[in-house]
Amino acid sequence: EAGVAQSPRYKIIEKRQSVAFWCNPISGHATLYWYQQILGQGPKLLIQFQNNGVVDDSQLPKDRFSAERLKGVDSTLKIQPAKLEDSAVYLCASSQTSGVNEQFFGPGTRLTVL
């Protein structure tokens, strides 16, 4: 069974530029999560989707971050414009459904903002 796929694996941009990350969850998983992990810290949930609907985006900086999962399968997370403090690993995870379920994580995208 294929795991959670993410791309790109690494991205370096300058501040004020835009960037987009892509995630393809495990086939059949209804719930998709985007996390931000700053170096030395635990992951922080940015947004959670159930199919193509948003369940929780309370910690998403909506002035610069946006995410979509239009068809309820793969998802894109965008940052526009990027700031230095956005440098982090962006992790995507999926689970069969919401609630108490095991989450499967992708390899992450390491973003460096210069």
Binding footprint of another protein on the chain (CB under 8 A): 31, 33, 41-45, 48, 55-56, 91, 93, 95, 97-108
Tell me the closest approach of the beta carbon of residue 81 to another protein, in angstroms.
27
Tell me the closest approach of the beta carbon of residue 80 to another protein, in angstroms.
25
* Distance between CA atoms of residues 55 and 50, nearest Å: 6
* Distance between CA atoms of residues 30 and 24, nearest Å: 11
Nearer of residues 17 and 37 to another protein, judged by Cβ? 37
Nearer of residues 8 and 18 to another protein, judged by Cβ? 8
Do the beta carbons of residue 33 and residue 23 sit within 8 Å? Answer: no
Please, what sign has the CA dihedral across residues 114, 33, 50, 52? positive
Tell me the closest approach of the beta carbon of residue 92 to another protein, in angstroms.
10
